[in-house]
Amino acid sequence: MQATFRCDGSTVFVFGGTSGINLGIAEAFAEAGATVAVASRSAGKVEAAVARLTDAGKRSGHDRPASGYALDVRDAAAVGTALDAFASAAGGIDVVVSGAAGNFLASAATLSPNGFKAVVDIDLLGSFHVARAAYAHLRKPGGCLIHISAPQASIAMPMQAHVCAAKAGVDMLTRTLALEWGPVGIRVNSVSPGPIDDTEGMRRLAPDEASRDRCVRSVPMRRMGDVRDIANACLFVASDAASYVSGTVIPVDGGWAAAGANVGS
């Protein structure tokens, strides 16, 4: 089901927007009429995403091509350069979605310091790099920053100490930035996806049919979500309909977090 929110004339930059949930978010904005840019580490994925998003924009009725940047969010200078370049080409930036993330299963007892640091650096430090560089472009009434969080931010999960720590930091960063940046017109929110079907994250966290079935049973709605569910939430958060929504974490998870995710069930 597609949302009814339109973004005609808006400019949107999605970090991590070349695959999975983040690509779905970028595509939804393009289909809603926005001019879209994406960034990720893989130049090949960036090129493929730009072609797909440009086609999505044409379907929405505009011929403004998408833009793409190959970069690592751990590189603050590269993040800033990409945002500046897109703002110059597109005439400004209205919405920034910070979705770059890393994850893998590892017990805390065996997790290496480098493994822990890698996830924190991508998820939390990367989110700060994006937010800090986006500030100058979003500093206006209607500026919108969206972090893509996760239930691990508030629900402890085995084999996920690194992600729990990183995403908890992201959600607290969301709240703090909403306090500091609200006076200059910037709204800051987190969207927290639950189990989303056909994504790399679920393939890693539920790699077989048994674990997948356990996951579905733990969701009160008894199904996994779709990438479009997350995209629709982001369209809402970025729209005028959410003009008084800031500093909040919005679960899009079929009630999963409310049920405590039933970890280990």
58 is catalytic: no
Catalytic entry in 40, 98, 127, 167: 167
Give strand pairing partners of 35.
11
Q: What's the rounded Cα separation, in Å, for the pair 130 and 58?
A: 28
The answer for 91, left when phi > 0, alpha when psi is -120 to 50, beta otherwise, is left
Judged on CB neighbours under 10 Å (0-12, 13-18, 19+), 109 is exposed
Q: Are 41 and 71 in contact (CB under 8 A)?
A: yes
Strand duo 187-193 + 95-98: pairing: unpaired
Catalytic entry in 67, 98, 127, 149: 149
Residue with tokens 């790699």: 207
Give strand pairing partners of 196.
225
167 is catalytic: yes
Three-state DSSP at 235 gives helix
DSSP H or E run through 131: helix 126-138
Q: What's the rounded Cα separation, in Å, for the pair 71 and 39?
A: 6
Active site residues: 149, 167
